[in-house]
Amino acid sequence: MNCLTYPTGAVVSPDYAIRVGELLEQFGTPDADVAWLLCDRHPASARALMIVDEHLAAIEYTYGELAEASRRAAAVLSAAGVGRGDRVATVMGKSAQLVAVVLGIWRLGAVYVPLFTAFAEDAIRSRLADAEVRLVVADEDQRAKVPAGDWTLIVAGTDSPDGLSARLVAASWQGIGSTPVGGDGALVHMFTSGTTGKPKGVVHPVRYAAGWQSYLEFGLGVGPDSVFWCGADPGWAYGLYTAIVAPLAAGVPTLLLRGGFSAADTWTVLKDRAVTDYTAAPTVYRGLRASGLPVPQGLALRRLSSAGEPLTPEVNDWARDALGLEVHDHYGQTELGMPIGFPHHSSLRRPVLAGAMGTSLPGWEITVLGEDDDAPVESGQTGRLAIVVAGSPLMTFRGYVGGRGGDRFRAGGAYFLTGDIASIDADGIVRFSARDDDVIIMAGYRIGPFDIESTLLQHPAISEAAVVAGPDEVRGEVVEAFVVLAPGAAVSDDLVQQLQQWVKKNYAAHAYPRRIHFVQSLPKTPSGKIQRAQLRQRRREDAGLGAGAR
């Protein structure tokens, strides 16, 4: 069995349980210090971060430079009244300044609230209010979406007296150290989407990060000689922990590309930066495949991974032919981290199987419970995918903010329901069947129908709305809406475009309905709840229902 020695001196033990225990001890001690774990303990001259800008020019930063930048950021935040336990949000794109601000938040013992830059004002307002945020740092192009409230706004990237850049230059930071909060101290307060109600708040403790470093080592197989790039956005859990937290903790340089996805830019960065380890949502691989662009010669790629949505078989059909590699599918949730996947670590690797999610990763134990009881089913039978709590030392989730989530624990807390339907064969291979809720996973983003429905219902032409997942060759799934018109409104292509723009403006640019169906009524239960499963079935049976748009 191979061992890897990381720049921190940590050795990946032949006994996976030992290594998981080492990470839990490291992140779980009563005096755990996040800034030290992610930054200060590393050699100041060691490479930490590479930012590739919109013109594909790259700037590298050392741990010493991040330490100074984050101390300056902490000084600015402290002067604004931020202290231990306070919630600080960002609405920022991928940049060195984002990383410095996040580390600065943790230096003060404050709690980070990441917000995706595609969110519209209402989505941002609700999350800021629900998290009781004290201060927001937003990019200049995002400031207009941050509403007034019980929080202070600092605009990043500006030299105005109130701008973050000017404040950082003037900050007196030499006396800024870091505040230990301990393994049970709050690290991140973020939100996950469901099918009913508002997005649910999840608070991650510091020791939650141990699972992500374990995932980096075992699931992704990233080692000290890797050139690592995670293409996910840090506004979401996978991007935050895989692109920033885990590699900084492990001492492995990480790459962030500013801007959105472009197939041409992705190929250029993979080649020019000699990336060896790449992970992104399956939609990115489908986008590369669909672009028709030639694969550059001389790529250094050794490992490919994906997460955020089921990996469809055509991705690996293409990857094997085009790249001579296979994409390893990985599965996780904001509440949990990454418990399942096809690991890249040489001592855990097993053949990638089409249509399968992988097996349990170190630090996790999984099972499948029956549909009608809370007992594990036999191998190969389909049921409710669950985490075995006692066998999963990396699990930190105990409930949502406000005490919700208790119903997801079963058999006296022995199992945690993931909300997915799956089977596990005799070899421990998990095969996904379906989600038992209606969350839409589009290009790796989890989208709750409730938010979009609520936004559509604010349009004067709409009296009722329901949103489901529709199939899409590139994105995996897209938002598909069924709407009932208000009296006096008429179906038209112009109205379709109006509704799409309405959702973009009032909820999120990425979550607008690609297809809209106008119907006379929506199927409902006797209690009045919309039956989305019937809408999905109706869509499959009658693809020509109503007017639609892409």
Q: What is the pLDDT of residue 538?
A: 77
pTM (2 d.p.): 0.85
**Average pLDDT along the chain:** 90
Q: Do 340 and 371 meet the contact criterion of CB atoms below 8 Å apart?
A: no
φ, ψ (nearest 5 deg) of residue 222: -70, 130
CA-based torsion, 36, 37, 43, 48: positive or negative:
negative
φ, ψ (nearest 5 deg) of residue 424: -130, 125
CB neighbour list of residue 111: distance below 8 Å, 6 or more residues apart = 85, 86, 87, 88, 105, 186, 187, 188, 189, 203
The per-residue pLDDT for range 187-210, each reduced to its tens digit, is 999 998 543 446 789 999 999 999
Q: Does domain 365-437 have CATH number 2.30.38.10?
A: yes
Q: What is the pLDDT of residue 147?
A: 96
- CA-closest candidate to residue 421, choices 444, 407, 438, 445: 438
In CATH, what number does 1-30+207-362 get?
Answer: 3.40.50.12780
pLDDT (mean) for 20-39: 97
Render 16-52 in DSSP notation, one character per residue.
HHHHHHHHHHHHHSTT--HHIIIIITS-TTSEEEEEE
Q: Tokens in use for 136?
A: 């927001």
CB neighbour list of residue 214: distance below 8 Å, 6 or more residues apart = 19, 20, 23, 361, 362, 363, 394
pLDDT reading at 122 higher than 60: yes
Neighbours of 533 (CB within 10 A): 12
Residue 529's pLDDT band (cuts 50, 70, 90): low
What is the C-alpha separation between 466 and 480, in angstroms, rounded?
9
Distances (CA, A) of 260 to 164, 200, 232, 266, 447: 24, 26, 10, 10, 18
Above pLDDT 70, what percent of the chain? 92
Domain 440-541 CATH superfamily: ANL, C-terminal domain (3.30.300.30)
Render 479-509 in DSSP notation, one character per residue.
EEEEEEEPTT----HHHHHHHHHHHHHHTBG
Burial of 337: CB neighbours in 10 Å, binned 0-12, 13-18, 19+:
buried
Domain ranges of the chain: 1-30+207-362, 63-204, 365-437, 440-541
pLDDT (mean) for 310-333: 93
Residue 526's pLDDT band (cuts 50, 70, 90): very low
The per-residue pLDDT for range 416-436, each reduced to its tens digit, is 999 888 999 999 999 987 677
- CA-closest candidate to residue 154, choices 102, 91, 83, 103: 91
Q: Does domain 63-204 have CATH number 3.40.50.980?
A: yes
pLDDT reading at 548 higher than 50: no
Domains 1-30+207-362 and 365-437 share a fold: no
